[in-house]
Amino acid sequence: MCYPEFEYTKELKGARILSDEKGAHFILSLVAADRPGLLYTVANTLADHGANLHTAKITTLGERAEDVFLISGGDLRESASRIRLETQLMDRLKV
């Protein structure tokens, strides 16, 4: 089986929120340059939106953070609210 080759660089950054299989929770995937206070900023932004954090997988690869959060609550069921949260995270993290 042949897989395409990917070059992972700092340009691959962003925040994306998708519904889980059952639609009960949401998965926030975040890729950003690692820095002090990154998780604090994410936690504050989630709190600002009334989101509850259930679990997190934190991965740091050199200067790159690749984190996944299982979240719920707030008004995340509305796509416009998820887009606002994604946008605010990217703004606050300078993604």
- Could you report the per-residue pLDDT of 58-90, keeping only the tens digit for each? 999 999 999 999 999 999 999 999 999 999 999
- Condensed to tens digits (0 to 9), the pLDDT of residues 13-48 reads 899 999 998 888 999 999 999 999 999 999 999 999
Q: Which domains does the chain have, with CATH numbers?
A: 14-93 (3.30.70.260)
> Which residues are CB-contacts of 55 (< 8 A; sequence separation ≥ 6)?
69, 70
Q: Hey, what are 4's tokens?
A: 């395409």
Global pTM?
A: 0.84
Helices 79-93 and 38-48, axial angle in degrees (round to 10): 150
